[in-house]
A = this chain, B = another copy of it.
Amino acid sequence: MGILGATGAVGQQFIALLGNHPWFKVTWLAASERSAGKRYGDLAWRLPVDLPADIAALEVDTLQAGKGPELVFSALDSSVAGDAEIEFAAAGHTVVSNAKNHRMDPLVPLLVPEVNADHLALLPAQKKQKGWKGALVTNPNCCAVPLAMALAALRQFHPTRVLVTTLQALSGAGYPGVPSLDATANVIPYIADEEEKIEKETKKLLGTLSASGSVEMHPMTVSATATRVPVINGHTESISVGFEKPVTHEEILEAFTAFVGEPQKLRLPSAPPRPIVYLTQNNRPQPRIDVERDGGMSVHIGRLRPCAILGHKFVLLGHNTIRGAAGAAVLNAELMEHRKAHS
């Protein structure tokens, strides 16, 4: 299996997650011309876990479609992902991408296995209409993943309005990312394009597959404000939500704790035991304490209480580089691999 964009922050996170994976083995690393030809272990490794020796020994290849293995994860920067991912999919690769470029394409599944595993049914039409030999599947923005998971648990109550303010970690900006003079002891109340992504992608994730084989957006309204805070990993979201009809506190609590999806039923290797962990202490979830639980694949929720305006409010925490990026893509690939093996 290969990784496109293996040298960046998300690329490194892919390697950290896949170094010991029971199904996938990293055998091919591709990146821009600048890194191509170098031994991967000679490039700057910045994660607090050690780089596996066999991956360190790999030579970085160029981004040449058709060359690497069939399955490739894309951690490409959006400045190159647009064209490159199409080339790889066209050439026969299954591209499991974290890039934003094709997420809203009507023929590309925007997938969170606990939320909309059925959207994979878009792939035959994708293949046909795009004329690709391979396929392209994407995972959402780092804030949209956990938000969509929380809303999927509540889907039965028909959410109509979702107002969210995010407090996002520094690792979400990649490396070098946010200058320390901007980040230290500060809040930056703006992240380019983030609010639009959260608002749109959440509606596609919860959308339904129509008879005609396309995704119909969920009709709810989402309004987002995105801020950056000096946290290393873990996006916190302050969420207010309104429903079509009155729902009780207990019904929501029960829905959160009872929630499971395909990954749990299929026991996929990266599936957390519970997709949503509800914490009862009144000052949780907290990024520094909670974000790494279950390998960073659970969404943590706390402080469920009435919202005088929309109905209910709560606080959510998701690991942005794992559940919100590399881990999301790995889980997507595991679901696809399982489907392939059992089809």
Could you tell me the distance between the alpha carbons of A222 and B310 in the complex, rounded to whole angstroms? 11
In this assembly, does A338 line the interface, its C-beta being within 8 Å of a C-beta of chain B? no
12 A-B pairs whose Cβ atoms sit less than 8 Å apart in the complex? A48-B290, A162-B309, A171-B181, A175-B179, A177-B180, A180-B184, A184-B288, A187-B229, A187-B236, A189-B236, A199-B308, A222-B308
With contact pairs A46-B289, A290-B48 given, residues A230 and B309 touching in the complex (Cβ less than 8 Å) = no
A177 touches B179 (CB 8 A): yes
Could you tell me the distance between the alpha carbons of A106 and B240 in the complex, rounded to whole angstroms? 31
State the interface size on chain A (CB cutoff 8 A).
61
Candidates B46, B183, B283; contact of A189 at CB < 8 Å: B283
Bitwise, A289-324 to B at CB < 8 A (1) or not (0) is 110110000000011000111100101000000000
In this assembly, does A341 line the interface, its C-beta being within 8 Å of a C-beta of chain B? no
CB distance from A5 to the nearest CB of B (A): 17
CB distance from A55 to the nearest CB of B (A): 17
In this assembly, does A246 line the interface, its C-beta being within 8 Å of a C-beta of chain B? no
CB distance from A197 to the nearest CB of B (A): 15
Could you tell me the distance between the alpha carbons of A9 and B47 in the complex, rounded to whole angstroms? 26
Q: Which of A149-176 contact B (CB under 8 A)?
A: 161-163, 165, 167, 170-171, 175-176
With contact pairs A229-B230, A289-B48 given, residues A223 and B176 touching in the complex (Cβ less than 8 Å) = no
B287 touches A186 (CB 8 A): yes
A167 touches B184 (CB 8 A): no
A283 touches B188 (CB 8 A): yes
The interface residues of chain B lying within 8 Å CB-to-CB of A47 are 289
Closest B residue by C-beta to A290: B48
Could you tell me the distance between the alpha carbons of A309 and B164 in the complex, rounded to whole angstroms? 11
In this assembly, does A62 line the interface, its C-beta being within 8 Å of a C-beta of chain B? no
Closest B residue by C-beta to A293: B50
In this assembly, does A53 line the interface, its C-beta being within 8 Å of a C-beta of chain B? no
- List the 4 closest A-B pairs by CB distance, nearest first: A180-B183, A176-B179, A165-B165, A190-B283
